[in-house]
Structure 1
Amino acid sequence: MSTADFGILSLSLLLGLTIFLFIIRIVLTWYPQVELKRFPFNLIALPTEPFLIPTRKIIPPIGGVDISPIIWVGIFSLLREILVGQQGILKIL
């Protein structure tokens, strides 16, 4: 395995993990009694919150529903497909 292949695999796994964390974050919004500052939920909240705070300022919750994690799932999915998908930029190079 070359260094480039290892880099592509690492980036793909990182983006996939980030998408997974945002999906778990979406599921956790269904349970408002969950305390995101307590273990193990802080392992999900800490890496995702820096993305969600500025997004909430631009797009506030609609009818009490926070759609910012959904937006980030879409952004990271698009990035992953563009960069390391089957016909991604890094695969073609």
Structure 2
Amino acid sequence: MYLLTNTLVTFITIYTYILIIRVLLTWFPNIDWYSQPFAAISQITDPYLNLFRSFIPPLGGIDISPILAILLLQVAGSLIGGLPGAFAYY
């Protein structure tokens, strides 16, 4: 059980870092999202971000969906990370 939760928390942490990199790269408008490695980052993060973009429209041209996406990942990581301690006594 510990290995599974540790793996999930590690995956969530790495994915959060990739999302942050994606958000930071959007500040540079001259990036070609069709060339590597930017295309790979886009393919990895867009399906998850599109879930939030479908119900959070851009406000004033600013996409705030990554904020909620990262927040949800952090909550999930905290909840999953707390599981091994809950089962340690059983």
TM-score, normalised relative to structure 2: 0.85
Taking only aligned residues, the RMSD between alpha carbons, in angstroms, comes to 1.3
Q: Which residue identity lines up with residue 66 of structure 1 in the other structure?
A: D
Structure 2: gaps of 5 or more residues: none
Residue from 2, 5, 14 that aligns with 2:11 = 14
Residue from 31, 34, 53 that aligns with 1:34 = 31
Whole-angstrom distance in 2 between the partners of 1:90 and 1:6: 9
Q: Which runs of 4+ in 1 moved over 2 A?
A: none
Higher relative contact order (CA 8 A, sep 6+): 2
Same amino acid, percent of matched pairs: 30
Whole-angstrom distance in 2 between the partners of 1:48 and 1:40: 13
TM-score, normalised relative to structure 1: 0.83
Aligned length: 87
Which residue of structure 2 aligns with residue 73 of structure 1?
A: 70
2:22/2:42 contact within 8 Å kept: yes
